[in-house]
Chains A and B, each alone.
Chain A
Amino acid sequence: MKPLKNACVVLAFASLLIGQFGCGTTASVLSSTQFSASALKTDKEIKAEALALIDRAKNRAPYTDAAADVDQLMTKVDQTISTEQGRTKNAPTVAQWQKIKTQLTNLFALWKKQGSCSPAFADDAKSQVGGLFDILIKTENDKRKQS
């Protein structure tokens, strides 16, 4: 009877523990936010591309010169959002990407509407967009397991 009693003790602990985490399935309860080296690489690559593109606005470059590259960049952003949506417990990162997409869309729409941007604006817009990507990168780095 001893092994049966021991098994009961272990089972009692397991059910106690699962009970602490509400009504989700066991798989959901045990899932974790995971760091992704590939996502981090993509974050850095798209940041570099976006900033290089904004750099071109500095010298009052016309939007038409950059339009094709803007479209390409925004397609990459959409693809990345789709990929991020497929990751476990990743809602904050998905929401961050959507905010970055909104900011980039607004920036390029303004550039298109005006034809060109003032140099002071292009400088600060670059710094602001760079800052948004830095927060996104920090968020991914925060997912690394801490000892």
Chain B
Amino acid sequence: MADFNQIFNDIKSQLGPLAEQDLKEFAGQGKQDAEAFLEQSRANLAKWVQQLAAKEINQDEFTFLVESQKAAAEMTALQAANAAQVRIDQFRDSVFSVVVKTAVTAVAGTV
């Protein structure tokens, strides 16, 4: 009979590094994206303030542009949420794969 505790410990030892690697990559990419977005927002806002002062755009147009930058921030957050969901799905699939492989191997070895 396969030793349940042994199989469980086997699975645990495989899942730890898997989760750590996935999360580290995701957090690193998220930080880079946020920094790039902030830099781009600053440059855009400076430009639009200047255009408003020079009467190249009117106040309604200025408001639309600022709103569109806010929409871009929200869309970037939604992109990150989607990427996190994809990572979770992939991690879950990896967990299933590790559990099934480890359990089947252990059980087959005892038959």
Residues of A at under 8 Å CB distance from B? Answer: 2-3, 5-6, 9-10, 12-13, 17, 20-21, 32-33, 89, 92-93, 95-96, 99-100, 102-103, 106-107, 110, 113-114, 117-118, 120-121, 124-125, 128-129, 131-132, 135-136, 138-139, 142-143, 145-146
Determine whether the beta carbon of A103 is less than 8 Å from that of B85: no
Provide the residues of chain B in CB contact with A103, threshold 8 Å. Answer: 67-68, 71
5 contacts between A and B (CB under 8 A): A93-B82, A95-B78, A96-B78, A124-B51, A125-B65
B72/A135 in contact, CB under 8 A: yes
Q: Main secondary structure on chain A at its contact with chain B?
A: helix
Contacts of B18 in A (CB 8 A): none
Chain B, 79-96, contact with A by CB distance < 8 Å: what is the 0/1 string? 101110110011011011
Which residues of chain A are within 8 angstroms of B82 by Cβ–Cβ distance? 33, 92-93, 139, 142-143
A120 and B60 in contact (CB under 8 A), knowing A13-B99, A128-B72, A135-B72?
A: no
User: Which residues in A have their C-beta under 8 angstroms from that of B79?
Assistant: 92, 96, 135, 138-139, 142
In the complex, which residues 14-55 of chain B have their Cβ closer than 8 Å to any Cβ of chain A? Answer: 44, 47-48, 51
Which of chain B's residues have a CB closer than 8 A to the CB of A3? Answer: 111
Contacts A13-B100, A99-B78, A135-B78 known; list 5 others, CB within 8 Å.
A9-B4, A13-B103, A92-B85, A121-B64, A132-B72
User: Are A96 and B75 in contact (CB-based, < 8 A)?
Assistant: yes
Q: Which residues of B contact A (CB under 8 A)?
A: 1-2, 4, 7, 44, 47-48, 51, 56-58, 60-61, 64-65, 67-69, 71-72, 74-76, 78-79, 81-83, 85-86, 89-90, 92-93, 95-96, 99-100, 103-104, 106-107, 110-111
A22–B45 Cα distance when bound, in Å, is: 44
Contact between A132 and B71, CB atoms less than 8 A apart: yes
Say yes or no: A120 contacts B57, CB within 8 Å: yes
A131 proximity list for chain B (CB < 8 A)? 72
A129 with B61: in contact, given A5-B1, A13-B103 (CB under 8 Å)? no
Known A-B contacts A33-B89, A114-B60, A143-B86; A12 and B72 likewise in contact (beta carbons under 8 Å) = no
Which B-chain residue is minimally distant from A10 (CB atoms)?
B103
**Other-chain residue from B2, B56, B96, B100 in contact with A6 (beta carbon distance below 8 A):** B2
Instruction: List B contacts of A21 (CB < 8 A).
Output: 92
Q: Is the CB of A92 within 8 A of B78?
A: yes
Contact in complex: A102, B61 (CB < 8 Å): no
